[in-house]
Amino acid sequence: MLAGLLFVIDAALILLFALLGNRSHGTGLSPVDIASTAWPFLVGLTVAWLLTRSWSRAAQLWPAGIIIVGITVAVGMVLRVLFTDGGAELSFILVATGTLGVFLLGRRLLTWLLLPCSR
C-alpha cells in the first residue's frame, strides 16, 4: 500500500516537471499538453520501478534511487525522440536529469527521514 502511494507521488513529481517545463516554454498547460510531455518519463519511471523492484525499497537513495533517475531519464528521452515531436538536446537532457534527480531523490530522502518503517 505504501509503495503504491510512493509510486503515485513519483508520478506526480514527473507531472510537475512537465507542467513547469511547459510553463517555462509556453507550450501549453492543458492536461493533454502536460500528459504529452510527461508520458515518456512516466513510462520510464514504471520501467525503472519494475527493474529495480523499488516497491521493496522505495526510500533507498543508493543504488535504487540513482538507478531509477537514470532509467527514467534514459527511457523518457528515447521515447520522446521516437514518438513525440520533442527533441533531446543536451541542455534538455541536463535539465531533465537535474530536475528529476532532485524531485525523485528528494522524495526518497523525505520518505527515509519521515517514515522510519521505510528503511
How do residues 34-78 score in pLDDT, each as one tens digit? 999 999 999 999 999 999 998 888 889 999 999 999 999 999 999
SS3 102: helix
HSE at residue 105, side-chain half, CA atoms within 13 A, is: 15
Q: Mean pLDDT score of the chain, rounded to an integer?
A: 93
Between 111 and 57, whose confidence is greater? 111
- Nearest residue to 97 (alpha-carbon basis) of 26, 35, 44: 44
Higher pLDDT, 99 or 3: 99
User: What's the pLDDT band for 119 if we cut at 50, 70, 90?
Assistant: low
Residue 118: per-residue pLDDT:
67
Residue boundaries of the structural domains of the chain = 2-118
